Structure 1
Amino acid sequence: MVAIMPQRFHRNVTYRLLALWLPTLGTSAAQAADIRVQLNGDRPGVVHASLHAADDHDWTSPLRQIRGNSDGIIFEDVSPGRYAVQLFVDSNGNGQLDVSPRGIPQEPVGFSGNPGLFRGKPDTQGSAFEHGDGESQVAIRMRQRRPAAPARAQPGHGG
C-alpha cells in the first residue's frame, strides 16, 4: 500500500476546491447590480421605498425597505429579475403614510412604471420592470392628492 504524504494530500484537496470555486467567483458578482430610483418632483421629507418581486401581485411582502431623501434611492446588489418599487414621502415625519378615511394617500406616493392612480393602488405587475445584471435606472413621478379648492360664493347669495 502506498502512503500519501499529508502535504501532498492537502495540496490536492486545495487545488480541487479552487477549481470548483474559481469559476463561480466572477458569476456571482456580475449577477447582482444596483437599482437606482430617481424621484421626479422635489418633495421635502424622508422617502420610504420598498422593493417587491413583481410576481407577488400585491405590496405586502417587500424584499427590501430603505429610507432616503428626494435626491434618489439606491437598492444595492439586486439579482436579475422582475421587480416593482413603491415609495412615499413622509412629509410630516411620523414614519407612516397618512391616508384619508377613504384610504386616499395624503402624502406624495409613487410607483415604478408610473401607473395612473385613478382606479386606486396598482398591483405589482402593473408597476413591474426588468432588472438585468447591470445597473437599472427607474424614474418615478411622485403624485399627491390636490387639496380641495375652497368653496366659492355664488353670486347673489349673501356675498
Structure 2
Amino acid sequence: MDSQKIINTKKHLVIAFFAIAITMLCTWNVMAQEATKAGSITITVNIDNCKNDDGHVLLGLHTAETFMKGPGVKNAKVTIENGKTTATFTNVLPGTYAIMALHDMNDNNRMDFDVNGMPQEHYGLSGNEMSFGPPQFVDAKFEAKEENLHFDIRF
C-alpha cells in the first residue's frame, strides 16, 4: 500500500471515530435528560382569592436553604384574571420544599411594607399557615416524591 492510501485510510478512520463519538455523546445526553425527567414531578399551584387583578403573583419553590433568603430553586411570575391564577413548576426533583406566593400589586418585584413592618401586599404559603411574624419553612414544607402535586394557596 502506498503512503497516500494509508493517509486517506487513517483520515477516514479518524472521521468515523469522531462521528461515532458524537453520536454516542448525543445519545447519552438525551438519555440523561430523559432519566432526569423520569425522576421529576410537576407541581401545580392555584390561587383563587386575589384581591384584584393588578400586578402579578410571584411564586417561589424553596428549599430550607433558600426560604426567606431570595429567589427559590424555581420561580414563576403569573398574571391574574378574575382574582384567580395558576402556576406550574415542572421537572422538580424529589426533595423537601415550600412554596411562597406574593401578590405583587404594583409590579415592583418585591414585598412592600407599612412603616410598622406589616406587609402591604397579600402573600401565602404551601401550608396555608398564617401566623404572626415572618413565615417559617417548617410550617410550609412538603415532600416531593414520585407523584405530581397540587396546592391551593390562600392569601
Using the size of structure 2 for normalisation, the TM-score is: 0.69
Matching of residue 67 in structure 1 with residue 77 in structure 2 = yes
**Separation of aligned partners in 2, 1:94 and 1:21:** 39
**Separation of aligned partners in 1, 2:127 and 2:144:** 13
Give yes or no for contact 1:57–1:124 (8 Å, CA) kept in 2.
no
Alignment-derived partner of residue 128 in structure 2: 114
Pairwise CA distance, 1:27: 2.5
Alignment-derived partner of residue 152 in structure 1: none
- 1:119-138 pair list within 5 angstroms: 120-138=133-151
Alignment-derived partner of residue 153 in structure 2: 140
C-alpha distance 71-12 of structure 1, shift in aligned 2 (>3 A): closer
Structure 1: gaps spanning 5 or more residues: 143-159
**Separation of aligned partners in 1, 2:107 and 2:28:** 51
Alignment-derived partner of residue 52 in structure 1: 62
Matching of residue 80 in structure 1 with residue 94 in structure 2 = yes
Same amino acid, percent of matched pairs: 24
Structure 2: gaps spanning 5 or more residues: 1-11
Give yes or no for contact 2:124–2:130 (8 Å, CA) kept in 1.
no
Query: What SS does structure 1 have at the residue aligned with 2:153?
Result: strand
C-alpha distance 30-10 of structure 1, shift in aligned 2 (>3 A): same
Which of residues 24, 27, 30 in structure 1 aligns to 2:35?
A: 27
Which of residues 118, 128, 141 in structure 2 aligns to 1:104?
A: 118
C-alpha distance 124-12 of structure 1, shift in aligned 2 (>3 A): same
- Structure with greater helix share of residues: 2
RMSD of Structure 2 on Structure 1 (CA):
2.9
Deviations 1:67-112 (A, max 9, x none): 1033211122211111111111122x24132211122111111111
C-alpha distance 10-139 of structure 1, shift in aligned 2 (>3 A): same
Farther-moved stretch of structure 1 (44-53 vs 19-28): 19-28
Alignment-derived partner of residue 49 in structure 2: 41
Give yes or no for contact 1:30–1:133 (8 Å, CA) kept in 2.
no
Q: Which amino acid aligns with 1:132?
A: K
Moved over 2 A (4+): 5-27, 42-45, 55-58, 61-65
Count of aligned positions: 137
